[in-house]
Chains A and B, each alone.
Chain A
Amino acid sequence: MNINLKINGKTHSDDVEPRLLLIHYLREVVGLTGPHVGCETSLCGACTVECDGKAVKSCTMFAVQADGANVTTIEGLAVDGKLHAMQEAFWNEHGAQCGFCTPGMIMASKQILDRNPHPTDEEIRMGLEGNVCRCTGYQHIVNAVRAAAKAGA
Chain B
Amino acid sequence: MIPQTFEYTAPKTLEEALQIIAGGGKPLSGGMSLIPMMKLRLAAPDHLVDLGRLKDLHYIREEGGALHIGATTTHQDVASSALVRGKCPLLAQTAGGVGDPQVRNRGTIGGSVAHADPSADYPAAMQALEAKFVLKGAKSERTVAAADFFLDTFLTALEPGEIVREVIVPVEDGSTGTHYEKVVQKASGFAVVGIAVRISRKAGKIVWARVGVTGLANHAYRATAVEKGLAGTSGGATEVQNAAAVVADGIEANSDLHASAEYRKHLAVVHTIRALLAALARTA
Contacts and interface: CB of A to CB of B under 8 A. Distances in A.
B6 A19 contact: yes
Interface in A55-87: 55-57, 60-62, 64-65, 67
Contacts of A131: 100
Interface stretch (B29-37, B62-70, B193-201, B217-225): B29-37
Interface bin, chain A: 20 to 34
Interface string A20-41: 1100100000000000000011
B86 interface: no
B251 interface: no
Contacts of B36: 41-42, 60
Contact of B105 (A19, A40, A42, A54): A54
Interface in B73-129: 76, 99-103, 105-106
Contact of A21 (B1, B7, B32, B101): B1
Contacts of B188: 43
A93 B169 CA distance: 46
B31 A129 contact: no
Interface size, B (range): 20 to 34
Nearest to A50: B105
B42 interface: no
A18 B101 contact: no
A129 B190 CA distance: 13
Nearest to A16: B8
B189 interface: yes
Given A60-B36, A61-B35, A62-B35, A19 B10 contact: no
A1 B76 CA distance: 29
B10 A56 contact: no
Interface string B45-57: 0001010110000
A35 to B, nearest CB: 12
Contacts of A108: 101-102
Contact of A61 (B2, B7, B31, B99): B31
Contacts of A60: 31-32, 35-36, 106
**Pairs of residues from A and B, 3 with the lowest C-beta to C-beta distance, nearest first:** A130-B100, A18-B8, A129-B100
Interface of A: 1, 17-21, 24, 40-43, 45, 48, 54-57, 60-62, 64-65, 67, 108, 111-112, 127, 129-131
10 contacts: A19-B2, A24-B1, A45-B100, A45-B102, A54-B105, A56-B105, A57-B106, A60-B32, A60-B106, A62-B8
Given A43-B187, A54-B106, A60-B36, 16 more contacts: A18-B8, A19-B5, A20-B1, A21-B2, A54-B76, A55-B101, A57-B106, A64-B10, A65-B10, A65-B28, A65-B50, A65-B53, A108-B101, A127-B101, A129-B189, A131-B100
